[in-house]
Amino acid sequence: MSLDPSFVGRSYPPTAPYQVGREKIREFATAIGAADAAYHDPEAARALGHPDVVAPPTFPQVLTMAANAQIVEDPALGVDYSRVVHGDQRFAYTRPVVAGDELVCVSSIDEITTRGGHGFLTTRTEVATVAGEPVVTVWSKIVVRREA
């Protein structure tokens, strides 16, 4: 089943608020080998002008996965997750994610293309505080491999 191109431009409902915790940031930083003190130590982060520890740049992937699940699990779109590989990802920050943030995500489909029989799906997730302050935009591309 190929991806339905009529889904381009479709947005999905906001996620439930995600409370960014200091320990989650530390755990994530440790897992990816990010040793910068601002990711682990509140005092080091405050010395840089942040209210608490700062999340590494790829941390929003933790919360955008739930938003993108709405897209991938939409049966009408036609994603066979057993055939999915990661294609690309990028982040455009308005400001850093810090411990104490309460964030919501709204995902939409930016592009659907087919090349060599493979489907390419690009999503855009706008991450903002519950008060509506933009924090980061995350683009993700997945490749749905063709059937052999």
**CATH number for the domain that contains residue 101:** 3.10.129.10
Domain housing 130: 5-21+54-144
Across all residues in the chain, what is the average pLDDT?
95
Locate tokens 């302050």: which residue? Answer: 133
Query: What pTM value is reported for the model?
Result: 0.93
Query: Which pLDDT belongs to residue 5?
Result: 93
Contact 44, 37 (CB under 8 A): yes
User: Does 33 reside within a domain?
Assistant: no
Number of neighbours of residue 123 by Cβ within 10 angstroms: 22
User: Does 139 reside within a domain?
Assistant: yes
User: Does 35 reside within a domain?
Assistant: no
Portion of the chain with pLDDT greater than 70, in percent = 99
Query: Which pLDDT belongs to residue 1?
Result: 58
User: Does 72 reside within a domain?
Assistant: yes
pLDDT (tens digit per residue) in 79-130: 988 999 999 999 999 999 999 999 999 999 999 999 999 999 999 999 999 9
User: Does 43 reside within a domain?
Assistant: no
Contact 12, 67 (CB under 8 A): yes
Counting the structural domains of the chain, the total is 1
User: Does 104 reside within a domain?
Assistant: yes
- Residue 68: band (very low, low, confident or very high) from pLDDT cuts 50, 70, 90: very high
The arrangement of strands across the sheet holding 118-129 comes to 18-19, 102-115, 118-129, 134-144, 84-93
